Amino acid sequence: MDWQASSGQGAKIDVLIAGAGYVGLAAAVAMRQARPALSVAIVDAAPAGVWQKDGRCSAIAAAACRMLDRLGAWAEIAPDAQAITEMIVTDSRTGDPVRPVFLTFGGEIAPGEPFAHMVANRALNGALRHRAGELGIDIIEGVAVAAFEAGPQHVSVHLADGVTVDARLLVAADGVRSRLRDMAGIKTVHWDYGQSGIVCTVAHERPHGGRAEEHFLPAGPFAILPLKPDEKGGNRSSIVWTERTADADRLVDGDEMVFEAELERRFGLKLGEIRVEDRPRAWPLGLTLARDFVKPRFALAGDAAHGIHPIAGQGLNMGFRDVAALAEVVVEADRLGRDIGALDVLQDYERWRRFDTVQMGITTDVLNRMFSNDFGPLRAVRDIGLGLVERMPRLKDFFIRQASGLGEATPRLLKGEPI
């Protein structure tokens, strides 16, 4: 569809997606690729090019890689993606010189297929935008959805620039503070953790060997995630470091040398000397679960439906699971001549995603509460728990499959199959 030509008052479209983050982009590509007859467009509130400033990296589970491959985006991402070949978990205090390893995960979920990769958010977003362009999906930037009302045939979406678009379905992928969720009158369960996630990239002397580390420290988890070497072959890792919010703000806004010294205390010396490569940023952390995922002609996806603690690196992966389930439901309904915005169609999507979402929200919440403290008896109990998992190969296999996103009732795209 030529959006520009038809974006006067009352432009018509099948699916309008609010939010050109990873979830909105992937949802657009998934629907349009499987069903070229569906007209799909995206509007994003952020000005053009802002996405290129995101210096963060994400851990992408195997199932999400399969989906990105099926969507034709993985080939562009792969050259810069770093396979995670092993993961270790420790439970220690900040200054402990030695951190005993309580749990190790390793291996591949299929020959040649690691259970996760680290990818640059910029590369991910860029590859999905490229695919959206190839599929003729318009991305309108710098325009927010201001209001909408659902009717029997379509939802009228009013954009901040005065344009109104009539869509059969409106998908809100507008992030954890979703305005569209509020406009739809959907309530959330929400609490703040009083913690922030400090994110930065670190250069180090010795190679990481594809190993990811998660150290449970008293203020919260400290993760070292392996990155592909830079263009000069320099070794790099991504840090996701949870601290109490006031401490995190002090650290990122304060003196660089103090930051590096504190980082080094947590990072340890096994990878040699370290150097912070970019400006660290702190992201406030909380749990947000939408009470409903759908309304007539309206569906939430990604962080707009669920914002969770990054302790297990699953936020975006859950968003990709929404994408795969929503696209499958919408495409199948359209093939059968059903109304893609009808509530009973959208409720199939909600039923599919609700259990996994609540389960992951609770799991990350409990893990964070259990591990973000220095209470002696609790330390003893959790370390026994970790030790037990380590000695039970079948339980470990189960966790690896869950972490790879290949649990039960997996949508087709996440298995690498077409819709």
Ligand X SMILES: Cc1cc2nc3c(=O)[nH]c(=O)nc-3n(C[C@H](O)[C@H](O)[C@H](O)COP(=O)(O)OP(=O)(O)OC[C@H]3O[C@@H](n4cnc5c(N)ncnc54)[C@H](O)[C@@H]3O)c2cc1C
Q: Does 68 bind ligand X (CB under 6 A)?
A: no
Residue 134: its H or E element: helix 121-134
* Nearest in space to 18 (alpha carbons), one of 151, 132, 157, 124: 157
Question: CA-to-CA distance for 318 and 418, rounded, in angstroms?
Answer: 19
CA angle 385, 268, 192 (to 5 degrees): 60
In the set 29, 31, 59, 163, which binds ligand X (CB under 6 A)? Answer: 59
Q: How far is CA 104 from the centre of its chain?
A: 23
Those residues whose C-beta lies under 8 Å from the C-beta of residue 292, and which sit 6 or more positions away, are 186, 300, 350
Q: Does 316 bind ligand X (CB under 6 A)?
A: yes
Strands 155-159 and 145-150: antiparallel
* Nearest in space to 367 (alpha carbons), one of 132, 195, 163: 195
Residue closer to ligand X (CB basis): 170 or 274 = 170
Q: Does 174 bind ligand X (CB under 6 A)?
A: yes
Stretch that binds ligand X, among 95-103, 248-256, 312-320, 379-387 (CB under 6 A): 312-320
In the set 11, 18, 300, 345, which binds ligand X (CB under 6 A)? Answer: 18
Size of the site for ligand X (CB under 6 A): 32
Identify the DSSP state of 391.
Answer: T
Q: Does 82 bind ligand X (CB under 6 A)?
A: no
At position 347, the amino acid (one-letter code) is Q
In the set 220, 280, 319, 341, which binds ligand X (CB under 6 A)? Answer: 319
Question: CA-to-CA distance for 119 and 192, rounded, in angstroms?
Answer: 27
Question: CA-to-CA distance for 383 and 221, rounded, in angstroms?
Answer: 15
Stretch that binds ligand X, among 15-23, 87-95, 382-390, 399-407 (CB under 6 A): 15-23
| Side-chain-side CA neighbours of residue 354 (13 Å) | 12
Q: Does 19 bind ligand X (CB under 6 A)?
A: yes
| Per-residue mark of binding to ligand X, 175-204 (x: CB under 6 A) | x---x-----------------x-x-----
Q: Does 221 bind ligand X (CB under 6 A)?
A: no
Q: Does 73 bind ligand X (CB under 6 A)?
A: no
Is 115 strand, coil or helix?
A: coil
Question: CA-to-CA distance for 238 and 253, rounded, in angstroms?
Answer: 19
Residue closer to ligand X (CB basis): 46 or 389 = 46
Closest CB 332 distance from ligand X, rounded Å: 23
In the set 33, 58, 235, 372, which binds ligand X (CB under 6 A)? Answer: 58
In the set 114, 280, 315, 361, which binds ligand X (CB under 6 A)? Answer: 315
Closest CB 376 distance from ligand X, rounded Å: 29
In the set 313, 341, 361, 405, which binds ligand X (CB under 6 A)? Answer: 313
Closest CB 134 distance from ligand X, rounded Å: 20
Span 279-298, contacts to ligand X by CB under 6 A: 283
Q: What is the distance in angstroms between the CA of the first residue and the CA of the last residue of the chain?
A: 22
C-alpha torsion angle, residues 322, 319, 22, 298 (rounded to 10):
50
Span 125-154, contacts to ligand X by CB under 6 A: 144-145
The residues of the shown chain that bind ligand X, judged by CB under 6 A, are 18-24, 43-46, 58-59, 144-145, 173-175, 179, 197, 199, 240, 283, 302-303, 310, 313-317, 319
